[in-house]
Amino acid sequence: MPLLTVPKPSWYTAMSERPAPSSGPTDRPRAAQAQTQPNEWRFDAAHAVAAAREYAEVMASDAGVFWLEYDPATASQFLSHCKSGQGESRAQPFSPPERSIRSRVNEYGGGAFCLGPAAAFYVDDKTQQIFRQAFDADQPESLTREGSSRFGDLFYDTAYQRLLCVRERHSKAVARDNAATDEIVVTQDIVAIDPETGRITPFVSGADFYAAPRVSTDGTGAAWVEWSLPHMPWDRSRLATAVLADGMPSDVRFGNFAASGDHSVLQPTFDASGVLWCVSDHGGWWQPYRMRTPDDWVAVDVAAADHALPPTQLGHRQFALFEDGQLALSWLEEGRMQMEYRANGTSRRLMSQYSLFRYLCSHQDKLYCVAGSPTRTTAVLEIDPATGAHRVLAGDTQPLAESTVAQPQAFSFPVPGGATGHGFFYPATVDDAAGASSLAPIIIMTHGGPTAATYPVFNPLIQFWTQRGFAVADLNYRGSSGYGRAYRQLLHQQWGVADAEDVIAALDELDRLKWCDCARAFIRGSSAGGFTTLSVLARSDRFLGGCSLYGVSDPWALRSATHRFESRYLDWLIAGPDHPEVYHERSPLANAHRICTPVIFFQGGQDQVVVPAQTETMVEALSAQGLQVEVHYYPKEGHGFRAAQTREHALEQELAFFRHQLG
């Protein structure tokens, strides 16, 4: 594997031994099988990567149930299917193995396929063009041929027999005075595509970004979500509704949820009777609403909780409508997701053994979704909501005996300003890293996003660490989703401050609880989590080591080098472009002289979100001051490593690095 490694300098001296804390109270979370096990039993890096098989975007029709399946062995994503309601019918690959399916709209993609009456339509990862594959065919046919365009959030409009989707065009800027330019201009619109000829007709344009184009089954109405810079879709977006005349929108109006316009609207969906539903957070939480008129929305009677996940990707669905008017919905309680079915004035809780539900959809009387569990891998489920009976269509495997799985325990901690931070604690499952202490060393994990979140589901990476004697604290610092709009807003212009403070506050709380050895603490994070990791290390010397995976080190440089979707995100996270001094104050690169903790870096050479220069300059700055630094570059990887070989290598190197710091 081609990589560049900066070795440990010969002058490096390990940090002095820190005193271990006295043993804590006996009510700390018990480690599952907390004893040294034979090496053959271990969940090694290869096992951890292989267990990271993922499923997404479930859809169902008379042709069967279809979903996207990510294979970590090949780093590709394909379309799988099985017959619905057919007992133990087995899932089978639908798309050919040589064709990976993935949208790259907004770089993060989503909505990469949809189902028509006779064929599936999907986005080819390599070309970003749409292909059509008949349900009885083995190979797809090319549908679109716009090489400068990407497509996402595909929707089959049954009323007009066409595709609707988001189109993102990448074209060279028009040069002034015949001057050469390499600048790429990125624009978006919604387009209609003939499913036979591929002919593209513009449907709506004018905003910077679009999502979720939908048409009612009778063809009289349409809806979509749009937003413009500098806003992000979880900060401020608006719902557009339109009357259709000859299939094209007229009398476009915008949902009047809040006079200020400061709300986020998601997931517009027409029910069988033509009523439009959506999710809005103008009341403080992402909650479902039904439309009587564009100016009159009826709130569904639900708990004060988030009923949606952050729209980092297109195509999320957190509720499902049935033909008979019944409803299935999901929401988050203390970071764990619940699901409920409502019918005839009654409600039924569903699938309580699972803790995360995504991509809800219905067909006839069945409910389908992707579900996550604390002890098993991700699953695709078919559920009879009337009885609660279910069938596993894919996944739901058990890589580890349940008695050896570190299970999440929700914990909270006070943070500056009177708020409360959140996280999940996973105890070590073996004791080989405990050493002389009776408590395990702790790894603090900081998620990316940073408006994303972490959930209490089986995470092979976390299990890898707990089975090597490390406890793990997976944090939802201020700004994370799942705890209401007000909690998300606490990161407004506080990135690098609030999240960093929360890491220290979480460490203080864990030390108070004596759940782990906080004198032997490590911190790691990817992307935005890498920025939080480096920001913490510039503020605190309480960590033995840190790990940044394609993390942001120079937010000012990121403004001009990142992709369009997040090009103004930093205005909200840190400050506007007229305040470079704030960026300098928050920059880990500018504060590299304050870092005294050894750091290991991992970076993809094709990363278009956090470009390689971010890591290169940070490594140079830390090395120049004589700090132990190790860096691994993977030339063919982008933002988020996909190849199994890369992921295994990175995990093994990170483990070796942390063990070295433990001495």
In the chain (663 residues long), the average pLDDT of successive 10-residue segments reads 36 28 40 41 82 93 95 91 72 93 95 97 97 96 95 97 97 66 86 97 97 96 96 94 94 79 93 94 95 85 95 95 92 95 93 96 95 95 94 93 93 94 95 70 95 95 94 97 96 96 97 96 96 97 96 91 89 94 96 96 90 93 94 92 91 96 92
Tokens of 40: 């053959």
Asked if residue 260 lies in contact with residue 235, where contact means CB atoms within 8 angstroms, the answer is no
* Domain parsing of the chain, residue ranges: 400-662
* 134-to-123, 131, 205, 414, 556 alpha-carbon distances in Å: 15, 10, 31, 56, 48
Q: How is residue 58 annotated by DSSP?
A: E
Q: Per residue, what are the HEC states of 300-344?
A: CCCCCCCCCCCCCCECCCCEEECCCCCEEEEEEECCEEEEEEEEC
Which bin fits 593, alpha (ψ -120 to 50), beta or left (φ > 0)? alpha
- CB count, 10 Å around CB of 353? 10
Strand pairing class (471-476; 441-446): parallel
Strand pairing class (543-549; 517-526): parallel
Asked if residue 393 lies in contact with residue 65, where contact means CB atoms within 8 angstroms, the answer is yes
CA nearest 467: which of 27, 10, 42, 77? 42
CA nearest 317: which of 351, 274, 282, 286? 286
Burial of 345: CB neighbours in 10 Å, binned 0-12, 13-18, 19+: exposed
Nearest-Å Rg of the Cα atoms of the chain is 25
CA nearest 106: which of 12, 187, 48, 26? 187
Query: Which residues, 6+ apart, have CB-to-CB distance to 196 below 8 Å?
Result: none
In angstroms, the CA 287 to CA 280 distance is 6
**Phi and psi, residue 85, nearest 5°:** 60, 30
- Buried-exposed string 355-394: b where 16+ CB fall within 10 A, e elsewhere: bbbbbbbbbeebbbbbbbbbbbbbbbbbbebeeeebbebb
3-state SS assignment for residue 93: strand
Give me the residue label for tokens 């996909």. 642
Strand pairing class (327-333; 390-395): unpaired
Give residue 637's pLDDT.
92
Burial of 259: CB neighbours in 10 Å, binned 0-12, 13-18, 19+: exposed
CA nearest 518: which of 503, 506, 507? 507
Give residue 451's pLDDT.
94
What DSSP letter does each residue of 458-513 carry, written as one string? --HHHHHHHTTT-EEEEEE-TT-SSS-HHHHHTTTTTTTTHHHHHHHHHHHHHHHH
3-state SS assignment for residue 203: strand
Asked if residue 559 lies in contact with residue 589, where contact means CB atoms within 8 angstroms, the answer is no
Give residue 201's pLDDT.
97
Orientation of helix 528-539 relative to helix 498-513, angle to 10°: 70
Asked if residue 484 lies in contact with residue 306, where contact means CB atoms within 8 angstroms, the answer is yes
* 180-to-147, 253, 563 alpha-carbon distances in Å: 22, 41, 21
Asked if residue 31 lies in contact with residue 387, where contact means CB atoms within 8 angstroms, the answer is no
Q: How is residue 630 annotated by DSSP?
A: E
Q: What's CA 125's distance to the chain center, in Å? A: 18
Q: Give the H/E segment covering residue 649.
A: helix 644-662
Give residue 2's pLDDT.
34
| Class (C level, CATH) for 400-662 | alpha beta
Asked if residue 293 lies in contact with residue 277, where contact means CB atoms within 8 angstroms, the answer is no
What DSSP letter does each residue of 140-158 carry, written as one string? -EE----TTEEEEEEEEET
Would you give the end-to-end CA distance of the chain in angstroms? 28
Tokens of 644: 């199994």
In angstroms, the CA 302 to CA 299 distance is 8
Q: What strands, in cross-sheet order, belong to the sheet with 209-215? A: 209-215, 221-227, 238-245, 248-254
The answer to whether the bond into 612 is cis (omega within 30° of 0) is no
CA nearest 474: which of 512, 524, 516, 432? 524
Tokens of 76: 């590709």
CA nearest 433: which of 35, 14, 21, 22? 35
3-state SS assignment for residue 96: coil
CA nearest 112: which of 93, 97, 126? 126
Give residue 345's pLDDT.
87
In angstroms, the CA 326 to CA 63 distance is 23
Give residue 87's pLDDT.
57
Q: How is residue 177 annotated by DSSP?
A: G
What DSSP letter does each residue of 362-384 carry, written as one string? EETTEEEEEEE-SSS--EEEEE-
